[in-house]
Amino acid sequence: MKTKGLTAVFAFLLILAGISNAAATYVDADLTNTTLADGTALNVTTSPVNPEDVTTSGSTAAGNDHWHIRTGYSNDSDVFSSIESSDSPTLRTTITGLQAGGLYKVSVFYWVAGDGTPFGNQEWDISAGLDETDITEYFWDGGIEVTDSSYFDSSVLLSEGDRRLFEIKLGTIMADSTGEIQVFIDDHPGNDDRTWYDGVSFEVNTSASMPTPESGADNVSEDVVISWYSGFGVDVASHEVYLSLPNDPNVGTAYTASIQDDDSGTASYNPGGLQRDAVYTWRVDEVLADDTVVQGSEWTFETLPSVPQITTQPADYVSVQPGEDAQFYVEATNPFTNDSTGMTYQWYHDGDLISGATSSTMTLLDVTDSDHGEYNCIVTITDNGASTPSDAGLLNIERLVQYHSFDSSLADMAGVNDGIYLTVDPNSASTVNYGVGFANQALALDSQGYVDLGVVGCPRAGLGLENGTVECWVKTTSAGTVMGVFEDEPQYYTTAFRLEVTADGSVSCLVRDADPTSTEAAAGQITDGEWHHIAASWQTSDQGGGMTIYIDGAVAGASTVSGVSNEFNPWTYGLFVGAVNSRGNVANPFNGLLDELKVYNYSMTAEQIAEVYYQYTGIATCVNPPAMDLTGDCVVDIADMAEFAGSWLDCGRVPSCN
């Protein structure tokens, strides 16, 4: 609609008066107004097959990806329900009889069961939106419980038994040329309970709405002309536009918009001279012909930046072997030219400037151990000197990062992470004991002592936790008690590593990132008093994923890893060998012999583990059994041919092989 005039106002003279809007009109969802999203009519049946098939009370509730209309419940004694295991099709409820081009606030209503306490509600969730391509999933508490019956212009059931009606405000939308609005509803597959969808509501939107730029928009030009739809169904005389100072969440002095209405009922205002790198908050109040003020909602937008915008970050994780080449690159946009011109680049290694690394791509040739670390790039606009640092990517040089032979020493043969022997009882003698190992000597533990590798112990963040392998030789008979072989667990639900012999004698390994997400695998049985070679290798999800347990050179078990590169925290407490470091406390000390403990900062393959085992024992491991190996010795030879020939012409057909 068109406004009548323009009124100049000042903020300190404003007196905001409320306007009595019409109550919301409730529309119950039923078979007359609700279809599939594409308009296909719903079909009531007792045997649903097609997406449009629904069941009703009196038939079995559909659990096979179909909606069920429960009768005798909720408003107008029916409600669309979908159980938690179902992925039912998207529905569309159509509101009719509206004024074409009119602006309406639309809500969706669903039911939640429970006593209203934070953990006393059943997970009755729903998905909804005003566009089929933009449907939002809402958990049960994503809406607001409706408690005021006067909210509607008709009688609406708000509670029933232990169930309560909840509302989700979907926003303001314009009715189409036929006076209709479509609302899209879906269930919430995989939630903890069901979906009960009851209906929708609409009410005339008398306040300013549907702003341009839309609320929350970014990269908005500093020369933007802001606009909005005028209040619908009311006689608007003028608009009061409130615009905050840059990066001030509070709207500031009242400005009067220069009205630029057209037949669509829009108005606009040119604030002029906005700053870059700023978030602006604004609001439009509609002043009606009778001087009533309809206060609008607050909206925000962020203007274009004045610093480089990095569009492609360096790879999170690059892993190469010594002597290979490694590469990182960034892509950035100059916000003044909207391309990659007018910018310089400088790369850094662990915070130190790399001489000559001044292009968007940095290549390291013939890498060595000293190249291990984090790399990032600072991009700078030449004209104004404004800079943006990139994220850091980790370059992992694959190698043995920690090695304890336990030959009368706790020294780290691969680095500087020497161990310190401690006792569970600090008052006991702290003399380390060695026994006969699988190779020379071994660390002998009797549940009274352990070795502390400190917070620099590997695997650790940036050196083995992202992708790694741990291997050692173990000899024990202590079944029935959990024993920490190599563990650091500074606190629950954060970065942790654990390799242990469990109560049932199996080997278990866990890697957990800072998110925290975990992966864990367990397999085998090694508490027979004999020497066993155990190993665990893992990869984070962006490197392919997977964790594998090996016993005596062969795969014993596996699971899927879910940790993410570069999301591991440094150790808070020292990494222990022979006990669990449980947030600074010693627990579950090991009883037995440990030998040849090695940590690698890359995930070894089954072939590599088999080769390690062979180097120790001279025993080959069958890693890839041939398909025609009939004798089980991992070799196809004359013995397999004889096995095959022995069954030549055998027949299992009934009644005969003729």
- Name the amino acid, one letter, at 444: A
Q: Where do we find the tokens 């529905």?
A: 91
Q: pLDDT tens-digit profile of 600-650?
A: 999 999 999 999 999 999 999 999 988 888 888 889 888 888 888 888 878
Instruction: Check residue 639 and give its pLDDT.
Output: 86
Under 8 Å between Cβ of 193 and 123: yes
* Residue of 190, 187, 203 whose CA lies nearest to 79: 187
Instruction: Check residue 13 and give its pLDDT.
Output: 26
**Statement: residue 303 has pLDDT above 90:** yes
Instruction: Check residue 250 and give its pLDDT.
Output: 86
| Any domain includes 3 | no
**Statement: residue 118 has pLDDT above 60:** no
* Residue of 471, 409, 447, 460 whose CA lies nearest to 596: 471
Q: Are residues 356 and 239 in the same domain?
A: no
Under 8 Å between Cβ of 499 and 508: yes
511: tokens are: 């890697």
Under 8 Å between Cβ of 135 and 187: no
Q: Are residues 189 and 241 in the same domain?
A: no
Under 8 Å between Cβ of 34 and 89: no
For 390, other C-beta atoms within 10 Å of its C-beta total 23
Q: Are residues 366 and 293 in the same domain?
A: no
Report how far Cα 420 is from the mean position of its chain's Cα atoms: 39
Report how far Cα 65 is from the mean position of its chain's Cα atoms: 26
Instruction: In the chain, count H helices and then E strands.
Output: 2, 51
Q: Domains in the chain: how many in total?
A: 5
Report helix, strand or coil for 639. Answer: helix
Question: How high does pLDDT run on average in the chain?
Answer: 89
Q: Are residues 194 and 232 in the same domain?
A: no
252: CATH: 2.60.40.1220
Instruction: Check residue 428 and give its pLDDT.
Output: 84
**Statement: residue 153 has pLDDT above 60:** yes
Q: Are residues 367 and 429 in the same domain?
A: no
| Any domain includes 122 | yes
Instruction: Check residue 3 and give its pLDDT.
Output: 30
Instruction: Find the domain containing 590 and state its range.
Output: 400-617
114: tokens are: 């429970």
| Any domain includes 232 | yes
Q: Are residues 534 and 647 in the same domain?
A: no
Q: pLDDT tens-digit profile of 421-466?
A: 999 998 887 899 999 999 999 999 999 999 999 999 999 999 999 9
Q: Are residues 41 and 112 in the same domain?
A: yes
Under 8 Å between Cβ of 507 and 551: yes
Grade residue 485 by pLDDT with cuts at 50, 70 and 90. Answer: low
Give the C-alpha separation, 205 to 266, whole Å. 14
486: CATH: 2.60.120.200
Instruction: Check residue 451 and give its pLDDT.
Output: 94
Instruction: Check residue 430 and give its pLDDT.
Output: 81
- Name the amino acid, one letter, at 48: P
* Residue of 500, 561, 575 whose CA lies nearest to 534: 500
Q: pLDDT tens-digit profile of 350-403?
A: 999 999 999 999 999 999 999 999 999 999 999 999 999 999 999 999 999 999
Give the C-alpha separation, 306 to 423, whole Å. 59
Percent share of the chain, pLDDT over 70: 90
Instruction: Check residue 20 and give its pLDDT.
Output: 41
Q: Average pLDDT in the 25-50 region?
A: 95
Instruction: Check residue 508 and give its pLDDT.
Output: 93
Grade residue 99 by pLDDT with cuts at 50, 70 and 90. Answer: very high
Q: pLDDT tens-digit profile of 279-296?
A: 999 999 999 989 999 999
Under 8 Å between Cβ of 36 and 43: no
Under 8 Å between Cβ of 443 and 432: yes
- Name the amino acid, one letter, at 96: T
169: CATH: 2.60.120.260
Q: Are residues 511 and 600 in the same domain?
A: yes
**Statement: residue 94 has pLDDT above 60:** yes
580: tokens are: 């669990």
Q: What angle do CA 411, 415, 416 make, to 5 degrees?
A: 65
Out of 240, 270, 303, a domain closes at 303
